[in-house]
Amino acid sequence: MLKYSLAVLIIATFAFASLSAQQLSPIHQPTLTPQNSGTSEGLIAVSPVNPQVVWASGRGGTFTVTTDGGQTWNAGVVPGAEALQFRDVQGFSASVAYLMSIGTSGDPTDFRIYKTVDGGATWTEQFVNQNPNAFYDCFAFWTPMRGIAHSDSVNGVFPDLRTTDGTNWLDISGNMPPALPGEFSFAASGTCVTTQGGQNAWIGTGGASVARILATRDGGDTWNAYDTPLVVGPSAGIFTVAFRNPWNGIAGGGDLDPNDPNSADTAISSDGGVTWTLTNPPPVTGAIFGLSYVGQKGDGGGNDGRSVVITANDGGAAWTPDEGTTWYTLPGVSGFWAVAFASPKAGWLVGTDGRILKISF
């Protein structure tokens, strides 16, 4: 659920053997290179397939894709989705990608899932929501055929979905843990749910008496719910979560309430999301919209602890070389909503007015 103006934070975490950040002298700031997205629509989510192929999505039914590392981006609008916002995107190749939409009209059918198999030339509508109280925030995939989509709770139940064939989305609400009163998630950057390996997934929640992580180890058949120490409230909780292996992960959040600008917080887990410990607070304001490990899961880069976190609008951005003990700001970076990496040398931030920054460590 995202009914407020959002803020995004970027956290980049580097592990250099046993060296602490203080021993690393000097600290090398990443290189930031603006790119032309081909659109002026606000971009909300980004999904690198590899250092060359990247998909991004956003407002006005817009998607954009590059096949040359961002030197050129080709933007388009999905027919029939012109009034929708694509709050999440998942790319698998230059040809295959999925989009998830929300709307602003209050029509429950604005929550949809689309798929292309021809590089965005045509899109197939795979799912159209019919639940009048559902609010689908994000989705994530293990493979091109296997993924899950997460919604805010409805009458104490999460009406989540799963596909096992890349085509049909089936209700798995009966597999989910009971929801707390008022519990929902945030459609901030498409990262309120993350997957890892072939069976693991984690979902971050907010809006209730405690911010929780919902976790599965068997591809969504069964789930457990774990409490976290992140900030809670009617407009607060976990916005974004990432895991670099089955056990080590980081979650980011905050409060959308403008009267609480210093609410941004992150927590880390070393036991698969069962227990969480707050890190030092990042030097940003507003809620943390998105975070990403610097290496893609499974490529070696994502398994060494490096990650990036961003806050949307004017909240600033920062990175950490040691998973939240030490923080460094990214000077002049603001207005970005999402961040993701294909490799340490190839990451992308996307945000307002179609802006894209390539980030390289």
Per-residue confidence (pLDDT) for residue 1, from 0 to 100 = 56
- Please report which confidence band the pLDDT of residue 309 belongs to, taking 50, 70 and 90 as the band edges: confident
* CA nearest to 10, candidates 25, 26, 30: 30
Whether the predicted pLDDT of 62 surpasses 80: yes
pLDDT > 90? residue 266:
yes
Instruction: Please give the pLDDT value at position 4.
Output: 34
28 — pLDDT class (breaks 50, 70, 90): confident
Structural domain boundaries of the chain? 21-360
The string of DSSP letters for 327-350 reads: -EE-TT--SEEEEEEEETTEEEEE
Give me the DSSP letters along 144-207.
TTEEEEEE--BTTB---EEESSSS--EE-GGGSPPPPTT-B---SSS-SEEEETTTEEEEE-BS
Total number of residues shown for the chain: 361
Instruction: Report the pLDDT value the prediction gives residue 5, as an integer from 0 to 100.
Output: 30
What's the pLDDT at 76?
Answer: 98
List the helix and strand counts (H, then E) for the chain. Answer: 0, 28
Section 277-293 average pLDDT: 93
pLDDT in tens, 145-176: 999 999 999 999 999 999 999 999 999 999 99
CATH topology of domain 21-360: Methylamine Dehydrogenase; Chain H (2.130.10)
Answer yes or no: is pLDDT of 23 > 90: no
Q: What is the mean pLDDT of the chain?
A: 90
Angstrom distances, CA of residue 157 to CA of 106, 131, 191, 207, 287: 20, 12, 20, 14, 26
Q: Is 178 exposed, middle or buried (0-12, 13-18, 19+ CB in 10 A)?
A: exposed
- pTM recorded for the entire structure: 0.91
Cis peptide before 282 (omega within 30 of 0): no
The average pLDDT across 291-314 equals: 68
Taking phi over 0 as left and psi of -120 to 50 as alpha, with beta for the rest, 51 belongs to alpha
